[in-house]
Structure 1
């Protein structure tokens, strides 16, 4: 189970086109320390929270009865990329113009 989480962390880092050494600037973890966590680690919860924050992600507990639905939703978004791209565009436009659609 922990291996699945470590795999997810690695996949998210690669999805963001980040190198292990980039994590130092994002969360203050050296490349060596991050490598150890990603490949065979048993990180503490606070370390996992820092890594999630650095990867622009959330740590969640998902009830077992919803795991299949969540995986299906995530797979659909990864394949199409449309929803993810739309959300990124929406967030970027709000940063550029926070008053958008309010006036």
Structure 2
């Protein structure tokens, strides 16, 4: 798995942001941000600011759940890239795509409701 610093850099590039742009989004200088991406050992509050500037969240994932989380993220990426409307779809056994009800309501069934 990529290091956290590599993930930060990839996310910044994916958002088409330059290191200088992070100064405006996060409030740290380009030099500070450059040092963070290259070899930094940032404080937690700095990481939280950077994550917010990159429209991301920092999460602590238990190792025993890591593969499940990565699988969900990979599946979500595939679903989003295959849909131009923003509605997530899944291919059915017949080859046709079906709407994913969790994409419309991710909280569905969380409390044991039958809706």
List per-residue Cα deviations over 1:73-100 (Å, max 9, x = no partner): 22233344348x728xxxxxxxxxxxxx
Change (3 A) 1:79 1:31: farther
Q: Which residue of 2 aligns with 1:6?
A: 5
Q: Which residue of 2 aligns with 1:61?
A: 60
Structure with the bigger percentage of strand: 2
Q: Which residue of 1 aligns with 2:18?
A: 19
Structure 1 stretches of 4+ moved >6 Å: none
Q: Provide the alpha-carbon RMSD of the alignment.
A: 2.2
Q: Which runs of 5+ in 2 are unaligned?
A: 88-115
TM-score (norm 2): 0.65
Secondary structure, aligned partner of 1:65 = helix
Cα distance, 1:6 vs. partner? 0.6
TM-score (norm 1): 0.72
Q: Which residue of 1 aligns with 2:43?
A: 44
Cα distance, 1:30 vs. partner? 1.2
Number of matched residues?
Answer: 85
For 2:3 and 2:75, the matched residues in 1 are separated by: 19
For 1:80 and 1:50, the matched residues in 2 are separated by: 29
